[in-house]
A and B are shown apart, each in its own frame.
Chain A
Amino acid sequence: MPFVRKLGEGECGRMSDYLIETRNLKKYFSTPRGLLYAVDGINLGLQKGRTLGVVGESGCGKSTLGRVVLRLLEATSGEVLYKGENILTYSESQMDKLRLKMQIIFQDPYASLNPRLTVSEIIAEPIKVCKTITDKTKLDAKVSELMETVSLADRFMNSYPHELDGGRRQRIGIARALALDPEFIVCDEPVSALDVSIQAQILNLLMDLQQERGLTYMFVTHNLSVVKHISHDIMVMYLGQCVERCSSDELFENPMHPYTQGLLAAIPVPNLQMARKSKHVVLKGEVTSPINPKKGCRFASRCNFVKSECMGEDIPLRELSPGHFVACVRCGA
């Protein structure tokens, strides 16, 4: 894979700055119908204190990527580097130590909390498991402090998750992720199950926490307006591969890949002028099957600009302007 090296070359000067980095990361699932290419050769680098937004349609492998990076799923091949060390070779006990630094916030605040534990028990659980605080009074103080951080009133301490609404439940999920004072958090669609006004409260909270604690986020979502708001850099995924990666502003001002352009055009903008101006260009079709995909550009079957070069060869990710990577033969040719 020549493009892997190419991508590294342009960035090697900053390599050591990365908190999290992946190299040619792959995760295949075997299914009765063949290999499912969920994550297929992802290279990414994430500096401390920054947010990488990972966007794409359902089934593009974005959640799988988040889980593979945390080793909640074992990668098929490739490397995940944490502060320059490949964590995929870590033993169980090394991994246990590392998990203190890496946490996840799940999508569904209804399903990701144990219904039989109280709020304080849920938040204290990671601390108990990892034994970072063993003293009972100190633990209680820590839980109160965490609840205050995420603006949960103390009176909910002994409530059960079902007594709370979605926004408050997601705050519990965030408090739990913060319990071990991590450096890196994967946010797997943390606001998609919430109402807009609650969504805005949670987004503000996540951004405040990042500023206060210098957290690094990998923010997985299908909501492009949210991702623009919270991310410094954005990676657009399609069928397990990265099709475009650049800074958030650059992506929205100058999207190059036809898929990114289609995605951006599909966002319903709450602005009447823009809604009337837009010509309703919609991306035709749906994401094709990730099982045994054909060689060549995986987006070709839905692309309006498809050419013969798109088929047969895998399309490399090329740096077309500084920091702007695109995998399309059309762009910059």
Chain B
Amino acid sequence: MGQSLMEIKNLYVEYHTDDARVFAVNGLNLSIKKGETLGLVGETGAGKTTTALSILKLLPNRVGKITSGSISLDGINLTDATEDDMRAIRGNLVSMIFQDPMTSLNPVIPVGEQIAEVLDLHKKYSSQEARDKRVDEILSLVGLLPESKNDYPHQFSGGMKQRIVIAIALACEPKLLLADEPTTALDVTIQAQVLELMREMKKKFDTSMVLITHDLGVVAQICDSVAIMYAGEIIEQGTVDQIFESEHHHPYTVGLFGSLPDLTRKTDRLTPIEGLMPDPSDLPTGCKFHTRCPQCAEKCKNAKPPLYSIEGQLLRCHSFENLAKGNVAE
């Protein structure tokens, strides 16, 4: 881990629908170092996937738009890149693993061909044999038999399909891997296998990774640092130790942990966060969490809290003003 690989600065993303402007990402700052795994945690609608799609510039045409901010990856400014540039970057410099392995593969093309597609686009192989050899290599890397390359996706189980998706994503050894809930659709045992595979791959290729998830258990297993998103903003960020061990937490983070059934002790009732994520087309003023916050004060309703920094841990909550002694990250 050393210099920074990707920098997102002050990113705003909006979706325009017929009757509303949806503010999906609101002033996001994020940076990832080489070899680092960042967990991007939040509930449905927090803007996690939108952030990943913005990096790839895959926001739905005409509907989704980056309104301001910049994203730079390995020295390239992605916000200015043309569609041709992006085609060369996607799958090569940065690739993505989607949530649902069942729907992210083409059902009518053998899986070997689907892996070869990435290679054909980005790598020049001297011969068909050299390319096919690479496909075999990649398949065995993710723990599948090279002979299975002629099989179709429906012949594989969910865990194996996710391995194929990972194989496609890693085929060109990208510098950054965006994994959008890669294990959510899988059984725990298969999830453990896939996480183990991702850990190995990360070590082998020194790939940086953004792991989008809502499962704090997965985060504890694999991440180096964690950013927690709520309504398009980062509300808490720090190393994995800070998020799991520190005594200071954003009330939303406390709620997230309180929602999880704890295997280590007996609880009669969970302590979930009351209410729902605010409608992103009609966000509350002040702190966006104030409508659900058990510690909401008058100030929270009007003034948006800055991102306070306590020993490197970032917290967007007014209650940390004194503790942070005026240290503000942005």
Chain A residues within 8 Å of B, Cβ to Cβ? 57-58, 165-167, 195-201, 203-204, 207, 222-226, 228-229, 249, 252, 262-263, 265-272, 274-275, 280, 282-284, 286-287
Q: Within the complex, what minimum Cβ distance (angstroms) separates B328 from chain A? A: 27
Q: B256 and A268: CB pair below 8 A?
A: no
In the bound complex, do residue B189 and residue A283 qualify as a contact, i.e. CB atoms below 8 Å apart?
yes
A225 CA to B160 CA in the complex, in Å? 25
B220 adjacent to A196 (CB under 8 Å): no
Complex Cα spacing A57 to B190, Å: 9
- CB pair B244 A199 closer than 8 Å: no
Question: Does B195 contact A267, Cβ atoms closer than 8 Å?
Answer: no
Classify the interface of chain B: helix, strand, loop or mixed.
helix
A-side contacts of B38, CB under 8 Å? none
**Chain A residues within an 8 Å CB radius of B244:** 270-272
A222-B285 Cα distance, complex, nearest whole Å: 40
In the bound complex, how far is the Cα of B220 from the Cα of A41, in angstroms?
A: 39
**A196 → B minimal CB distance (Å):** 5
Question: Is B264 a contact partner of A57 (Cβ separation < 8 A)?
Answer: no
Look across to chain A and name the residue whose beta carbon is closest to the beta carbon of B46: A195
Counting chain B CB atoms within 10 Å of each CB, the highest count among A198, A266, A268 belongs to: A268
The 8 A CB mask of B92-110 against A (1 = contact, 0 = none) is 0000000000000000000
Shortest distance from the beta carbon of B156 to any chain A beta carbon, whole Å: 10
Q: With an 8 A cutoff between CB atoms, is B219 at the interface? A: yes
**Residues of chain B lying within 8 A (CB to CB) of residue A282:** 189, 192-193, 196
What separation, in Å, do the CA atoms of A281 and B262 have in the docked complex?
A: 21
Tell yes or no: B188 within 8 A of A by CB: yes
The answer to whether B214 and A266 touch across the interface, beta carbons within 8 angstroms, is: no
Q: Complex Cα distance A233/B297, Å?
A: 44
Check if A167 sits within 8 Å of B276, measured CB to CB.
Answer: yes
Contact A195 B214 (CB under 8 A): yes
Q: Would you give the shortest CB distance from B252 to chain A, in whole angstroms?
A: 9
Given contacts A197-B272, A201-B272, contact A280 B196 (CB under 8 A): yes
Give chain B interface residues in 130-147, CB to chain A under 8 Å. none
Given contacts A197-B255, A197-B272, 15 further A-B contacts (CB under 8 A): A200-B261, A204-B269, A204-B272, A207-B269, A222-B187, A224-B188, A249-B266, A266-B191, A266-B192, A268-B188, A268-B191, A268-B195, A270-B244, A286-B189, A286-B190
The answer on a CB contact under 8 Å between B263 and A286 is: no
Q: Please, which residues of chain B bring their CB within 8 A of the CB of A200?
A: 258-261, 270-272
